[in-house]
Amino acid sequence: FFLKCYCFCPQFRFKEKRMDEVWLVEFYAPWCGYCKKLEPVWYEVGAELKSSGSLINVGKMDATAFSSVASEFGVRGYPTIKLLKGDLAYNYKGPRTKEDIIEFANRVAGPVVRALPSRQMFEGVLNRHSVLFVYIGGDSPLKEKYIEVASEMIVYTYFFSALEDALPTNVTLQELPSVAVFKDRTYFLYDAYQDGELSSWVNRERFRGYLHIDGFTLYELGETGKLVAIAVVDEKNLTEEIAPKVTFGHMDGNDYINSLIMGEVPVPSIIVLNTSNDQYFLLGEPVKTLDQLVQFIHSVLDGSAQAQGGDGIFQRIKRVAFDARSTVMSVFRSSPLLGCFLFGLPLGVISLMCYGICTAESDDGTEELDLLKREALPEEDEYEDRRREGEEEEEEERQEEKSAADKKVD
């Protein structure tokens, strides 16, 4: 059920085969820790697809041994998961779990837009999928645009098409053709005048109204441009009293949020993130009523709530310092000896270099001073010799004058 691409078959054979088949390929590096962690999951993915009768081939390729091929598919990091269908390559960006990877493979390997010919099939699809988009109507420019958007966004969600008579009885359309998203036990219609480009609307609406949010989900939500309201809770103590009060989602623990806002968020608490400019709004007191939470959300939307953070120059400098400090602290916490070696050795080398530079400057100054003294010494000796000669001449003159005076007296 599992083939190692380019390891058990020549490159040219794989390239010929992949154009006529569907391949789910993991590009890995032998030294990559994340790749080793994914390996048992990857074997389970292959076994599951094989046992279900899927026509998807599952394989893996050493991207370091076949770097030219990895570069051809745009591999920049490890592990990278791609589904290859004909001349198209779809990147997988979801959680690395067996269920999520298989769901991605089955969705992307099938038709970009699936038809729903009957109401019974429509209702069955609604029960199986939490979010799905449906084009309703016949051929039109909107349908062409819908297929184009579906080709790009199929990696995230499902796209269907149906005629009006296949819709559930509770769905009411304002016009035909239409595009609708079904989620959270209701539906929303696309309005080109209010919602803008169809691709942007699909990107915003591809999430459920309430989510269990982690770092990956929050990163994906950042691409929608929406405000994200998060309840920071201890999931072990999550009760029915907390969950209904949260508009968008909850996050287990405060570690990720603390690193995001570079501060400390108490548990439980409510925080609203503006992912477009990195601002956040924090409710300073515990939420006791639903009205209190709704009032807080409205204050964020109307601009009366005080925003913190942002993407200004000061915050960017603070982010660099915070990330550096966090990295150093995490290294020392995980392995103190390794931390001392990684940071102590460079500091020791830099200290020795500074000491050598300072010492070299001091020696140079001393040598120059000694040289000046040596150059000035001959001049001082010459001056002293002339002074002595002058004194000797004056002494001789005094002796001669004294001798002459003595002769006159005689």
> How buried is 47 (Cβ within 10 angstroms: 0-12 exposed, 13-18 middle, 19+ buried)?
middle
Of these residues, 7, 35, 340, 358, which one is catalytic? 35
C-beta of residue 172 within 8 angstroms of C-beta of residue 207: no
Q: Distance between CA 61 and CA 172 in Å, rounded?
A: 50
C-beta of residue 288 within 8 angstroms of C-beta of residue 301: no
Which parts of 287-402 are beta strand (E)? 308-309
Closest CA to 68 of 9, 2, 8, 11: 11
Q: Distance between CA 38 and CA 40 in Å, rounded?
A: 6
What number of other Cβ atoms are within 10 A of residue 244's Cβ? 9
Closest CA to 95 of 214, 228, 179: 214
Closest CA to 135 of 169, 158, 106: 158
| 166 secondary structure, DSSP code | G
Of these residues, 5, 7, 32, 340, which one is catalytic? 32
C-beta of residue 9 within 8 angstroms of C-beta of residue 18: no
Q: Distance between CA 23 and CA 84 in Å, rounded?
A: 5
Asked about 5 being catalytic, the answer comes back as no
The strand pairing partners of 58, in sequence order, are: 24
Q: Distance between CA 261 and CA 278 in Å, rounded?
A: 8
- 69-to-6, 64, 77, 269 alpha-carbon distances in Å: 10, 10, 14, 48
- Residue 183 sits at φ, ψ, to 5 deg, of -165, 160
Active site residues: 32, 35
